[in-house]
């Protein structure tokens, strides 16, 4: 099939937990001129499909799948520079953390309607350096230690049975060692802490709605570094529950810092989940890539704030343009230090 006339291209992961049948999705897309659909096969190189879209002059590449599919497409686009197509997110997974923050509804038809009159924003990304010398890009959250073990403990059956609650259930069962974390944020003095969880966050939530970085803003040019101190499994599970239900900015088990560049040493090494993809090695450095990724957002999207789920669920009506909250980056930078 010749797809060179596509304006919008959908990359569908048919194995995603909420994926529609490709034929059913094709019927919806047939109503939209210059939209194309690529059904991904197991083992497909997503990078090749994204580069094909760039070559064909596609304006929006829609990642139709779970957080892993979205992250893979986003990481390629973020490296291509300002002329890259915009990223669209059609949330078909279990957690859908980035999609929620972008105010994209879970209903497929409602989400497609948003792309018909797309608002595009320039969001930050975070480039990570790993132990083996390779680099990766995340758009939402890189989390390690106990939190990464939670992701690894989940299988597709648990996700299908429990949905987003599977993440909370696995958090109670997962165990991990205490790590000695030495880090330096920007030009500040190096610090050392013990931690069971470490998160480098561009977005506010991970693990199906856990607000690991409630003050995070996808457009402010800063990351949030969050460390969770060692505690008993019940206390950690209680903390995870509190993070899921509200903005918990201060807690005796939490250390928070905010910055633009990070150097990091973790002993023993810590596995990380990078926007939902598990890697068995530690992150050693991170830096923000300001405005690196053009992304389609829903009408309820607001900088630095999670949208009302009821407003996002299926409502596609446009809303008045409300300016993002005013936030002085340097003040926020120093305030986060003060909380440490």
- Residues 311-322: pLDDT tens digits? 554 443 333 333
Q: Please give the DSSP secondary-structure letter assigned to residue 203.
A: S
Task: Give residue 119's pLDDT.
Answer: 92
Cis before 120 (ω within 30): no
* Domains defined along the chain, listed by start: 8-125+292-312 (3.40.50.10330), 127-289+329-339 (2.60.200.40)
Task: Give residue 250's pLDDT.
Answer: 77
Is residue 277 annotated as part of the catalytic site, yes or no?
yes
The low-confidence residues of the chain, meaning pLDDT below 70, are: 1-4, 146-176, 246-249, 307-340
Task: Give residue 175's pLDDT.
Answer: 58
Task: Give residue 123's pLDDT.
Answer: 97
Residue among 277, 280, 300, 334 flagged as catalytic:
277
Q: To the nearest 10°, the Cα dihedral for 293, 294, 300, 301?
A: 30
Give tens-digit pLDDT for 229-259.
998 878 887 887 787 776 666 788 999 999 9
Residue 225 CB partners (closer than 8 Å, separation 6+): 183, 185, 198, 199, 200, 201, 256, 257, 258, 259, 262
Give tens-digit pLDDT for 97-137.
999 999 999 999 999 999 988 899 999 999 999 999 999 99
Asked whether the whole model's pTM tops 0.85, one would answer: no
**Dihedrals phi, psi of 76, to nearest 5 degrees:** -70, -50
């Amino acid at each position: 099939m010749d797809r060179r006339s596509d304006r919008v291209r959908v990359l569908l992961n048919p194995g995603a937990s909420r994926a529609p049948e490709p034929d059913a999705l094709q019927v919806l897309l047939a109503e939209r001129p210059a939209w194309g659909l690529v059904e991904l096969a197991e083992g497909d190189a997503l990078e090749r499909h994204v580069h094909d879209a760039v070559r064909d002059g596609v304006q929006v590449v829609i990642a139709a799948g779970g957080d892993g599919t979205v992250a893979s497409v986003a990481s390629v686009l973020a490296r291509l520079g300002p002329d890259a197509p915009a990223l669209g997110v059609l949330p078909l997974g279990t957690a859908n953390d980035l999609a929620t923050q972008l105010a994209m509804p879970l209903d497929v038809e409602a989400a497609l309607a948003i792309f018909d009159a797309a608002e595009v924003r320039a969001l930050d990304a975070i480039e990570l350096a790993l132990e083996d010398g390779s680099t990766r890009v995340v758009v939402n959250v890189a989390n390690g230690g106990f939190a990464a073990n939670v992701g690894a403990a989940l299988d597709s059956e648990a996700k299908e049975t429990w949905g987003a609650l599977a993440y909370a259930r696995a958090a109670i069962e997962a165990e991990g060692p205490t790590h000695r974390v030495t880090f330096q944020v920007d030009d500040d003095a190096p610090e050392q802490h013990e931690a069971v969880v470490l998160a480098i966050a561009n977005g506010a939530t991970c693990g199906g709605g856990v607000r690991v970085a409630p003050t995070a803003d996808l457009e402010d040019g800063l990351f949030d570094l969050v460390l969770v101190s060692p505690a008993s499994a019940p206390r950690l599970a209680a903390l995870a529950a509190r993070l899921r239900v509200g903005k918990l900015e201060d807690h005796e088990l939490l250390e928070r810092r905010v910055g633009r560049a990070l150097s990091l040493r973790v002993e023993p090494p810590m596995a990380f989940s990078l926007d939902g993809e598990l890697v068995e090695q530690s992150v050693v450095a991170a830096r923000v890539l300001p405005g690196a990724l053009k992304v389609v957002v829903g009408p309820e999207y607001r900088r630095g704030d999670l949208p009302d789920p009821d407003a996002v669920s299926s409502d596609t009506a446009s809303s008045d343009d409300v300016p993002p909250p005013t936030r002085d980056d340097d003040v926020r930078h120093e305030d986060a230090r003060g909380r440490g």
